Structure 1
Amino acid sequence: MIDQPSNKPSDVVLVARNVAKSFGKTRALVDAGLELKAGEVHGLLGANGAGKSTLSRVITCHVRRDAGEVTFRGAPLEAATTRDALRLGIALVAQETSLAPDMSVLENIFLPELGRPARLSYGVFRRRATEILERLGHEHALPLDLEVRRLSAAQRQLVEIAKALALDANLVIFDEPTASLSPSEVERLFDIMARLRDDGRALIFVSHRLEEVFAITDRVTIMREGRTVANALPTASLTQSDIVRHMVGQDLGSVYTQAPVHAAGEVLPVVLEVSHLSAPPAVRDISFSVRRGEILGLGGLVGAGRSEAAEAIFGLRPRRGGVIKVDGREINPTKPADAIKAGIGLVAEDRRVQSIVPDLTVRENLLLAHIGAHRGFGLGYAAREKKLAALIKSLDLPADRLDANLLTFSGGMQQKVVMARWLLLEPKVLILDEPTKGVDIGTRASIYAILREIAADGVAVILISSDFEELLGLAERIVVISDGVSIADLPTASLDEEKLTLLAAPRTSTARNTEFLRRLTSDFGGTAFWALLEQDEVICLSQADATNPVATGLRPGEARAIDVTHIPQALRRREAQFVREDAGDNATLILPMRSRRGSDLGWIGLALPAAADLPPPQAIEARIAALNAID
């Protein structure tokens, strides 16, 4: 837990009391309050529609409050525009990015400065932007001259974060900043937030991921139905159940608790088979299959090629190579209509851009996919009425508001509408890209229940998620994708978040370790490997062979029971010395690998012929230590 900030009254930066705001007949805020101190990360929590984003926008002057008071640094906050708020040092990193799509990454990072009456220096901007992205750990992930319209949703979120850091604001509101980030990227962001907090800045962190709330926040304020129901509670004094109870008024239990979808040992037919899919530059060589009634996870970091692979399968992205089969029959989707006809549905990652038509009603958005699949005169709505009514009931959608504009619904409700659209067509395969991005824990639990239900009905479900806990909690198998290549296909039971993070590391990041293995075999011969070890299982991350390799029984990207490998005694004993196997034809050294911070990075192994001159284990250990020192 992060050290708690001091509680001196002089530390208070912002106080909001009795804030109210209505949009037409909708009361977004009724009696909202918040107290924020310098040098703290303050969690602002609540279910979808609780008023978190509205209160955030009141503070940043994006919207004017109808009633109540807000003081900033002891003075009433009466800024008329967001520019006034920025001048005061208040910035917002929004969940739905508000960038200029035709401008470059560099121009968007310094967008607030472009309107100032002063001479601009793009050279200075470029140096500052590089420093900011280096602090974020993404100096190579965001080309500064690239147009923002060409970025992924996650990359656009990173531009928003960089833009806030460029303002050097004293109060920064992070509204769901981690929704599109992987665990390692979240860790980098939290390092930045901790440094900003230690510099005395006040940070508001809005998130639906409770594990993140406990990892980074010092105090939390919880909202429900526009009201503050718990104000400035120390995070250390709460449990997840406490927070959920405040948010939704009831206990939800574990959102991942589930019964097996099908019986153990049951072999179901393959519905979708993808072989050597290529759609450059993001997708290079991806292969996987998914069976009827199975939930398959596609894991990896942002930019690994998971979303792009889904788009290529759905006909949204041109393919250069590869074979796609549905029920054993090869298909060649060049447009979404081809994929829909074959029985494939896609819930895309960016809800606002890719999935909904904001000017249409809920009913019209629900029936969009039906219209695309319908053949014949008229709209054919009558054919779907019975199924639509059943879906509305099962998804807990308000039947009396089907003719309302979809934008009047919360993000979680919008996501349910998009899912219902595809379920109306009864697809054979449903691909969901970040389906719980930006939704609260109650809606997440509801979506998880829906996914298990449709899998039980025989639909093959493909889940793409940057939330590794979510993948591990829902999927039966996980195919790990890195730099556009599928590098592992493992049962979920063989994985945890740490293993998945190591497997998902970009090949550019693990190239150093692979090169290290090559140098070992070049100097000493045999076979070198990098692996994750459990009590009875080994997962090989990478392997290098000399001209005289030793058979280890390991293959990169695969999990093996230790006893079926050719080096079981070495893998079990894990001693800081070479261990000879019973057969006596090889000797293997297994040594731990740790980062500078002491994090477990797996094990390095060197297997040599037993008759070879074995190097001193201390020499190999020193090489590993030197490698980790530059991590």
Structure 2
Amino acid sequence: MSSPQTTESTTALEAREVWKAFERTQALSGVTFALNAGEVHALVGANGAGKSTFSRIVSGHLMADRGEIRLFDQTVRFLSARDAIRAGITMVMQETSLAPDLSVLENIYLPEFGSAGRLSWGGLAKRAEELLGQFGQGGHLPLNRPLRDLSASQRQMVEILKALALDAKVIIFDEPTASFSPNEVDRLFDVMRLLVQRGKALVFVSHRLEEIFEITDRITVFREGRTVACAAPTASMRPADLVRLMVGREIADIYARRSADPGASAGGPPVLEVEHLAAEPRVKDVSFSVGRGEILGLAGLVGAGRSECVEALFGLRRIERGRISLRGQPFRPRVPIDAVRAGIGFIPEDRRRQGLVQDFTVRENLLLAHLGRHRGLGLGYEQHRAEMEALLDELGLAQRILDDGILTLSGGMQQKVVLARWILMKPKLLILDEPTRGVDIGTRSTIYAIIRRLAKAGMAVLLVSSDFEEVIGICDRIVVLSDGADVTNIPADLVDVEKLAMFAAPRSSAEATHVLLEALAQRFGGIAYWIFLEGDRLYCFDAVAGLDAPEVGFSRGAFPEIGEAHIPLALAQRTGDFVCEPTGASILLPLRGHRGHDLGLIGLTLRAGLELPNPELVRGMILDGPGATMPQQAFGGGGR
């Protein structure tokens, strides 16, 4: 929850009986909404429920057909987004509305370009650096960098910063975390809590239930253009109740987990093998394999190189080094058609820029990949008609939309079309980059079931996702990338969200801890490490070996059973002092996050027979090292 609400709350925004139609589609049918100052208010619903339409009306991008909107007890009717901005309302768009040829700084202050007078770029840069610091992005998002060079998640961060720079009274966040991983989400939530403390009124549109229950105070639910729950206290609602209100039915297990036994189609030689892949500047050294009937996840933080890796595999990026084998044969795509003809399908991260032709109809977009492989005369649409209609029924898409423009569909429905396109191609390997970005829970359940069905039928699936719960829920194995290299390759049932985030952290988000480990190893020799113990298993998130380093039975990225480690007494006692055993002497100290949650242990093991340093000196280095910066960067709050 964001903050306790006062007994008398000021109504910041109120909507009464708002209607909106687009030709034959009735998007809103008399919705109501009430937002207080100093609260985070969730606006939820299935794809096509009217959330984005309502948000665009409130923020001046659209005009309602009828109805009343009141801002701080004054009736308003905005003719443009600039009118709404002047009144104190801004919106963080789900599909970013930025200028690709301008720099990050210019995009953050894009609304300022229409203001009278000269802009002070020095002053704007200083304000922007302060905003970047709040998100922990200082140094990771250079202000002079062209926007076109950024990833989808980085562009979303710029969109958020642009809204915050306006210092609006009402901010609408439309799926702001769709491409964020846990620590970026936590950073955003910290900023949202700060805004609430300053009296801002925030609308949070999201399909991620765990986020809704973590950050919001009240919930309004739209279904099919109508309000089915208005301003219900979040604390009074259970997740199952919210799902039922959103989709009108019960959804038990959205991930539809398969049994522990591998399917009959799994096994045999790998469909895809990747060894030491490099595609500069983001992909430096990545190795993994994915087998027939297997779902392999690629996880990591912003800038880890996940999307760039799969883009290289599909021929969208030049491969610098490495070996790729597809079904036992050497494979090195130069352009995407090479990958398509080799039996690879690809759903990109940014569906608007990479996955759709915006001027085409639904049918034309659906059969786009077919055109690339079709060799005969004409378009060849008819040969796919029956299969296409059956697939549309499975995805819950009406046949009548086939001749509509693709942009008339909601974001979730567009994603279904892109997924259906590649299913029709029957690829041997399907690459999915953020397949459920901006998709409601009902649609996610459908997509997961289809992915499971495809894998059971023998298709190899490579899935990239910023949603760590999704990666764990749908994948069989997970390869974690960090700074362009693979960190670990772990079965999904051996990891949870917290540990996955910490595996992703060592190089790109837990820099202070890595520096501490290097300092310990350099000063005292031996091996310094960051580990976590749970049950009978040890997880090693980072390790640095110095001179005369003893063998401790684990290394960076390893997850052995505790009994396999060579420091059993130190692991059992954890006294905070050196514990001697045949391997050597070890000291272990706990590591805590900025909210007190357990991040594991920092340890140092020295070879047997060496003179031991003063334990107080080692403890001082560990306790004073990463404490101020590392925990809040390495892992954002508990429960995610």
Q: State if a TM-score over 0.5 links the two structures.
A: yes
Structure 1 counterpart of 2:619: 621
1:585 CA displacement: 4.1
Structure 2 residue 584 is matched with structure 1 residue 586:
yes
1:190 CA displacement: 0.4
Paired residues, what number? 628
Distance 1:99 1:326 in 2: 38
Are the aligned partners of 1:172 and 1:203 in contact in 2 as well (CA < 8 Å)?
yes
- For residues 300-355 of structure 1, what are the alpha-carbon distances to aligned partners after superposition, in whole Å with 9 as ceiling and x for unaligned? 01221000011100001111111111111011100011111111111001111111
Structure 1 counterpart of 2:576: 576
1:542 CA displacement: 2.0
SS of match in other structure, 2:57: helix
How do 1:120-199 residues align onto structure 2 when only pairs under 5 Å count? 120-199=119-198
- CA gap of 1:506–1:146, structure 2 versus 1, over 3 A, is farther
Distance 1:388 1:114 in 2: 47
What is the root-mean-square deviation in Å for CA atoms of aligned residues?
Answer: 1.8
1:488 CA displacement: 0.9
How do 1:163-312 residues align onto structure 2 when only pairs under 5 Å count? 163-260=162-259, 262-263=261-262, 267-312=267-312
Structure 2 counterpart of 1:370: 370
**Structure 1 stretch 277-286 or stretch 385-394: which is displaced more?**
385-394
- CA gap of 1:269–1:319, structure 2 versus 1, over 3 A, is same
Q: TM-score, normalised by structure 2?
A: 0.95
**Structure 1 stretch 21-30 or stretch 569-578: which is displaced more?**
569-578
Are the aligned partners of 1:261 and 1:455 in contact in 2 as well (CA < 8 Å)?
no
Structure 1 counterpart of 2:542: 542
How do 1:544-563 residues align onto structure 2 when only pairs under 5 Å count? 544-563=544-563
- CA gap of 1:586–1:141, structure 2 versus 1, over 3 A, is closer
Structure 2 residue 67 is matched with structure 1 residue 68:
yes
1:282 CA displacement: 0.9
Distance 1:577 1:418 in 2: 57
Task: Give aligned-pair identity as a percent.
Answer: 52
- CA gap of 1:361–1:264, structure 2 versus 1, over 3 A, is closer
Distance 1:381 1:596 in 2: 57
- CA gap of 1:617–1:13, structure 2 versus 1, over 3 A, is same
Distance 1:629 1:289 in 2: 37
Are the aligned partners of 1:105 and 1:145 in contact in 2 as well (CA < 8 Å)?
yes
Letter in 2 for 1:168: D
Are the aligned partners of 1:304 and 1:506 in contact in 2 as well (CA < 8 Å)?
no
1:525 CA displacement: 2.7
SS of match in other structure, 2:510: helix
Distance 2:328 2:591 in 1: 44
- For residues 159-209 of structure 1, what are the alpha-carbon distances to aligned partners after superposition, in whole Å with 9 as ceiling and x for unaligned? 111111111101111111111111100100000000000000111111110
1:143 CA displacement: 1.7
Are the aligned partners of 1:262 and 1:456 in contact in 2 as well (CA < 8 Å)?
no
Are the aligned partners of 1:341 and 1:373 in contact in 2 as well (CA < 8 Å)?
yes
Distance 2:256 2:330 in 1: 37
1:616 CA displacement: 4.3
Structure 2 counterpart of 1:333: 333
- CA gap of 1:420–1:360, structure 2 versus 1, over 3 A, is same
Are the aligned partners of 1:595 and 1:628 in contact in 2 as well (CA < 8 Å)?
no
Structure 2 residue 619 is matched with structure 1 residue 612:
no
Structure 2 counterpart of 1:431: 431
- For residues 112-170 of structure 1, what are the alpha-carbon distances to aligned partners after superposition, in whole Å with 9 as ceiling and x for unaligned? 11111212211111111111111222122222122222222111111111111111101
Distance 1:308 1:155 in 2: 14
Distance 1:596 1:441 in 2: 31
Structure 2 counterpart of 1:43: 42
Are the aligned partners of 1:594 and 1:628 in contact in 2 as well (CA < 8 Å)?
no
Are the aligned partners of 2:207 and 2:439 in contact in 1 as well (CA < 8 Å)?
yes
Are the aligned partners of 1:585 and 1:611 in contact in 2 as well (CA < 8 Å)?
no
**Structure 1 stretch 512-521 or stretch 472-481: which is displaced more?**
512-521
Distance 2:58 2:98 in 1: 20
Structure 2 counterpart of 1:601: 599
The unaligned stretches of length 5 or more in structure 2 are 630-640
1:7 CA displacement: 4.0
SS of match in other structure, 1:273: strand
Distance 2:468 2:148 in 1: 27
Are the aligned partners of 1:286 and 1:486 in contact in 2 as well (CA < 8 Å)?
yes
SS of match in other structure, 2:359: coil
Structure 1 counterpart of 2:422: 422
Letter in 1 for 2:603: G
How do 1:99-118 residues align onto structure 2 when only pairs under 5 Å count? 99-118=98-117
1:622 CA displacement: 2.5
Letter in 2 for 1:208: H
Structure 1 counterpart of 2:637: none
Distance 2:370 2:560 in 1: 45
How do 1:455-534 residues align onto structure 2 when only pairs under 5 Å count? 455-505=455-505, 507-534=507-534
Distance 2:77 2:402 in 1: 39
Distance 2:22 2:30 in 1: 15
1:411 CA displacement: 1.8
1:608 CA displacement: 2.1
Structure 2 counterpart of 1:396: 396
Are the aligned partners of 1:261 and 1:293 in contact in 2 as well (CA < 8 Å)?
no
- CA gap of 1:2–1:512, structure 2 versus 1, over 3 A, is closer
Letter in 1 for 2:510: T
Structure 2 counterpart of 1:630: 628
**Structure 1 stretch 517-526 or stretch 407-416: which is displaced more?**
517-526
- CA gap of 1:264–1:389, structure 2 versus 1, over 3 A, is closer
Structure 2 counterpart of 1:17: 16
- CA gap of 1:522–1:160, structure 2 versus 1, over 3 A, is closer
Distance 1:112 1:516 in 2: 43
Are the aligned partners of 1:537 and 1:561 in contact in 2 as well (CA < 8 Å)?
yes
Runs of 4+ in structure 1 off by over 4 angstroms are none
Distance 2:46 2:354 in 1: 24
SS of match in other structure, 1:593: strand
- For residues 564-619 of structure 1, what are the alpha-carbon distances to aligned partners after superposition, in whole Å with 9 as ceiling and x for unaligned? 222234334433333344xx342322221123432322211222233333334443
**Structure 1 stretch 493-502 or stretch 186-195: which is displaced more?**
493-502
Distance 2:167 2:389 in 1: 51
